[in-house]
Structure 1
Amino acid sequence: MLKKLTIASLLISATAFGASIDHVQNYTAEYGANPAQQGAINYGTTVNFNPAGLMRLENGTYFTGGLQYAFGDQSMTQNGKEFDSDLSSPIPNFAVYKKTDDGALFWTFGAVAGGASLEYKNSIPLPAGMNGMLDGTNIKGSNQYAQTTIGKAWNVNEKLSMSLGLRAVYGLRTLEANTTTNTNFPILGAGKKASIDSERTAFGVGVQLGLNYTANDRLNIGFRYDSRVKLDFKTDATINDDTLVLGEDYSISGGLLGIYPVYADGLKTRRDLPALMALGASYKVTDDWTAFIGGNYYFNKDAKMDRVGTNPGRYAYDNGWEISLGSEYKLNDKVSWLAGINYADTGAKETTYAATEYSIGSIMLGTGFKIKQDENTEWTIGYSHYFYDSTTFNGIKYEKDIRSIGFNFVKKF
């Protein structure tokens, strides 16, 4: 029984956003206001979502940057008791690109997967009676992937353009957990402490391909393919456990590492970042109003994930997908109003749900404003609210509620 004492209490992975099991799409604040950016042609987001479309912008050198702040809560309920966590995370993004008649060179940096930091101050769902043996269980976790991409776009003809980029991804998964036994703990009784401080890191590279087709002065179509990124994670962990006197098989840390060996010091495990395919279009309905549609498809099944542990169902992912609609309406020469909606199916089956992660479907609503300060400077402010499906599996109810606010600016030189 003790061997299963902490199968969840010492494991938290913070996947906050995303239509995929790992990917996020909020590369810029403008996505929060209008998520259908796959076929957009604009100064602030095209470099991220439709890089081949850079060839449809004016010649010049551009710098774009911004910051989003995600906040909300993530909770699990078992036998009427709620275990909740406040989450928060700043998400920066930067890009530089130079467009000429001969082509466009671009560089981007920002988040590509993962999510916000979480802290559960009052434990999380455990097997029957286990929380009654522990006091002061506190868990902090983060799951963050940063990317940088360099590439080039060029014209094939006056309507078709292409892009090719090389992407580097750095993944970081951290965990800090502490707990203390109470008088109900068998043999040892109260006051025995156990803690884990774990960091898992990986680095990988992939390619990015893009196509943009401008059918006429009103309709534009964008396509992007981000390849799978191979990521071999290595764990660096420090574990302190007073219950090891019972033997590893009956200690808190032994129970943890016996079921989730990925947190053992020095262990190497592979968890690829899945490939994605994005397709979208923008249509200028009137001189003041542009409508957008876009979708992403995530190749989760093709991403290799080491089957570590005794429950292969935890890795039973289907492919994920999402679809977005958006609108940009010009209120006057300086200000435009943005709005959009997104529906996402992550492809994660219920058997994959655990305290470590639960990627559930969502609807996102967003709105914001784009402000043209002058001919060379533009600001975007965006707000989004993610409404997640409420799902119950094995007696545990999983819920999320996340919002994000942010800004972006573009400067042309």
Structure 2
Amino acid sequence: MKRIFLFVLVICTSMIVNSASIDYLMNNSAAYLGNPSQAGIISVDGAFYNPAGLTQLEDGTYININGLFSGVEESMNLSDKKFDAKDYPMAPSFNLVYKKDKSAFYLNTSVIAGGPHLNFKSGVAGLELAAQAFNKLDPLAGTVRALDAELKNGDFEGENRYYQGIIGGTYQLNRVLSVSLGGKYVYSVRKLEGDAEYSFYKGNPIGASINGNELHIKSKREADGFGGVLGLNIRVNENLNIGMKYDTPVKLTFDTNATEDKKMYIGALGKNLGISDFYPTYKDGYSGRRDLPGVLSLGISGKVNRFTLMAGYNRYFNKAANIDNVDYDDGNEVNFGLMYDINEKFTWTAGVNFADTGAKKSSYNDVEFSLNSQFYGTGVIYKHDEKNEFTFSVSYIHYDSENGEDENFLAGTKLEKSKVTYKKGIIGMGIGYTYKF
């Protein structure tokens, strides 16, 4: 058993340590925050992580409820300006499992993808870059009649949430193998509301041609879709388990409803300019695909005395998905964890996860920057008795700060996103409760 476990560890560590997809969230339970290596574990949380392993539970009906609390900060730094937002979201999840003899049936509801509600009270970097781009068009730049366009005030709010429901069944084929099949429904909403106010010199020829100095948008994108979940569990022996799961892609066609009652008319360019020109997917009437990609999860757990050691790998097939027509590489994820049985009632857990979303620098903008990350978690499982179990966990996610990539703007100018440093940081806490009937 030890040889098999070490072999899988070698395979995992030999891969490039990438991770997570663009939208997907794997933190589906309090147990995950204490140990992100869940794909090879037998537990009620397996309704999401390893549904094929549910037939290894004792006969009975299980209810599992989780509350995941986070402190989130995202920021964009441009020269001496910092555009930042903080939020303290809570994401619930619920698992229901019924196991009898060789069969098990399960239900999972959760927030499967997206992020927190963020309010950038001083605006966002992209609109400041737009002012800089207009100044580069100014033939009188550096003179007393320079345009000197500047973002004076901004207030941006955004939120992405994808809600998921899964229902499925598991069957034990023999002593070693069990399989699972499930279906899922996803409803998703992406919101953006923003205001921006510019200042500029009206005595400049470009400034004289501008009518208006404020922008406003309130936009909502909605989509829903269906997918499937396939699972396989290999119970090698009582101490060694291997879990596999494949989530099929979910086709999501987002339709946008927006109001944009304030724009600026740039006479020198013969163009109305609004916030949706920077974020075209939030333009009223826009319809386009932003799919959830297929995900392959592999995990192994091995028990050695009081220790249970875990390793896992997730592959996100971003290249095969249409994600707002943006070119992403596939994402990958490698994680390791351990559980230590302190006594019959308490178990200590810990784990790490290394992630690369597959997002390229060219994809970074004010409403999305999917940064690579390193996840660290620990927690305690308290088994009060045969019917009641509690999970407490904490985690910290460190994100690699990255600069963006310049992109074309108007009249051959560029938005110099290479000057913008994108940053994130998250502290999480999870509370879970499982009751067995």
TM (norm. structure 2) is 0.84
Out of 216, 230, 236, which is 1:209 matched to?
230
Name the structure 2 match of 1:398: 422
Q: What is the CA-CA distance between 1:223 and the residue it aligns to?
A: 0.1
- Residue 307 (structure 2) pairs with residue 289 (structure 1): yes
Q: Assess if the C-alpha contact under 8 Å between 2:266 and 2:273 holds in 1.
A: no
Name the structure 2 match of 1:155: 172
Q: What residue identity is the alignment partner of 1:60?
A: G
Distance (whole Å) between structure 1 residues aligned to residue 254 and residue 112 of structure 2: 17
Q: What is the CA-CA distance between 1:172 and the residue it aligns to?
A: 0.6
Name the structure 2 match of 1:369: 380
Name the structure 2 match of 1:112: 112
Out of 114, 127, 132, which is 2:129 matched to?
127
Distance (whole Å) between structure 2 residues aligned to residue 299 and residue 221 of structure 1: 22
Which 5+ residue runs of structure 2 have no aligned equivalent?
A: 1-18, 133-147, 405-417
Q: Assess if the C-alpha contact under 8 Å between 1:241 and 1:252 holds in 2.
A: no
Q: Assess if the C-alpha contact under 8 Å between 1:76 and 1:84 holds in 2.
A: yes
Q: Assess if the C-alpha contact under 8 Å between 2:169 and 2:182 holds in 1.
A: yes
Distance (whole Å) between structure 2 residues aligned to residue 391 and residue 188 of structure 1: 37
Report the more deviating stretch, 240-249 or 54-63.
240-249
SS at match of 1:154: strand
Distance (whole Å) between structure 2 residues aligned to residue 402 and residue 305 of structure 1: 24
Q: What is the CA-CA distance between 1:129 and the residue it aligns to?
A: 3.8
Distance (whole Å) between structure 1 residues aligned to residue 267 and residue 185 of structure 2: 45
Q: Assess if the C-alpha contact under 8 Å between 1:188 and 1:243 holds in 2.
A: no
Distance (whole Å) between structure 1 residues aligned to residue 197 and residue 79 of structure 2: 22
Query: What is the correspondence of 1:249-328 to structure 2 with a 5 Å cutoff?
Result: 250-253=271-274, 256-286=275-305, 288-307=306-325, 315-328=326-339
Q: Assess if the C-alpha contact under 8 Å between 1:291 and 1:328 holds in 2.
A: yes
Query: What is the correspondence of 1:65-80 to structure 2 with a 5 Å cutoff?
Result: 65-80=65-80
Name the structure 2 match of 1:40: 41
Name the structure 2 match of 1:145: 162
Which 5+ residue runs of structure 1 have no aligned equivalent?
A: 1-17, 308-314
Distance (whole Å) between structure 2 residues aligned to residue 238 and residue 247 of structure 1: 26
Name the structure 1 match of 2:28: 27
Q: Assess if the C-alpha contact under 8 Å between 1:116 and 1:143 holds in 2.
A: yes
Q: Which of structures 1 and 2 has the bigger CA Rg?
A: 2
Distance (whole Å) between structure 2 residues aligned to residue 401 and residue 93 of structure 1: 22
Distance (whole Å) between structure 1 residues aligned to residue 182 and residue 130 of structure 2: 51
Cα deviation code 1:254-309 (max 9, x no counterpart): xx3345332221221111100000000110111x21111111000000002343xx
How many residues align? The count is 385
**RMSD between superposed Cα atoms in Å:** 2.1
Q: What is the CA-CA distance between 1:318 and the residue it aligns to?
A: 0.5
Rate the CA distance shift 1:355–1:244 in 2: closer, same or farther, 3 A.
Answer: same
Q: What is the CA-CA distance between 1:142 and the residue it aligns to?
A: 0.5
Q: What is the CA-CA distance between 1:249 and the residue it aligns to?
A: 5.6
Q: What is the CA-CA distance between 1:88 and the residue it aligns to?
A: 2.7
Q: Quote the sequence identity (%).
A: 38
Q: What is the CA-CA distance between 1:81 and the residue it aligns to?
A: 2.0
Q: What residue identity is the alignment partner of 2:216?
A: S
Q: What residue identity is the alignment partner of 1:138?
A: D
Rate the CA distance shift 1:98–1:247 in 2: closer, same or farther, 3 A.
Answer: farther
TM (norm. structure 1) is 0.89
Q: What residue identity is the alignment partner of 1:81?
A: K
